[in-house]
Amino acid sequence: MFGGYGLYQADRFFAILMDGRLYFRTDEQTRAAYVERGMGPFTYEKARRTMTMNYFEVPPEVLENREQLAAWANHAIHAAAAQGRTPTKRAKQPRRDH
């Protein structure tokens, strides 16, 4: 999808690891904590456009504190669960010529 790694808890896609940076899934309740610490969203290029996702970079002080990191990961898991199940890709069906 984007060249990084997706982290899952069961079927919940809650984090992205890309270029040595960790991004957690956010929602309206959790996003402010990232923004207040100056952290930005995960972005990528698609068709010469910058796309933004609801994943924000985890602050360094959170990465360095095991308890905080676990708590923030838990919030990200809950945000992913609230968003619903990630749709699975359908396999392409063979084309049938009539």
**Model pLDDT for residues 42-65, shown as the tens digit of each residue:** 988 888 898 888 999 999 999 999
* pLDDT over threshold 80, residue 39: yes
CA-based torsion, 61, 66, 67, 68: positive or negative: positive
Determine the Cα–Cα distance for residues 46 and 29; give it in Å rounded to an integer.
28
Q: Please write the tens of the pLDDT for every residue from 16-28.
A: 999 999 999 999 9
CA-based torsion, 14, 56, 28, 87: positive or negative: negative
Q: Is the pTM of this model over 0.95?
A: no
